[in-house]
Amino acid sequence: MSDQYPEGKLNENDEGATQIALGIDNGNVVLIFTKPITWIGGDPDWADQLADAIKEKAQMARDLKTP
């Protein structure tokens, strides 16, 4: 990522941007990070988008388990 702090540095503990991937593994929803993570944060729109993406993966995982 070209800008380490695309939304500005949130606080003194902010270590900068990282990528997050969502996936399904063995029927479970998994979040995959590109580096060790203590916390993540973003604005309310980002949080809504993350929640929607997790819900979408959850439904996909349910659909895989349904015969």
Residue written as token pair 């900068």 = 16
Q: What is the pLDDT of residue 55?
A: 97
Classify 55 as helix, strand or coil: helix
pLDDT band at 1 (very low <50, low <70, confident <90, very high): very low
Q: What is the pTM of this model?
A: 0.74
Q: What is the pLDDT of residue 17?
A: 75
How large a percentage of the chain has pLDDT more than 70? Answer: 96
In tens, the pLDDT along 23-37 reads 999 999 999 998 888
Instruction: Count Cα atoms within 13 angstroms, Cβ side, for 35.
Output: 9
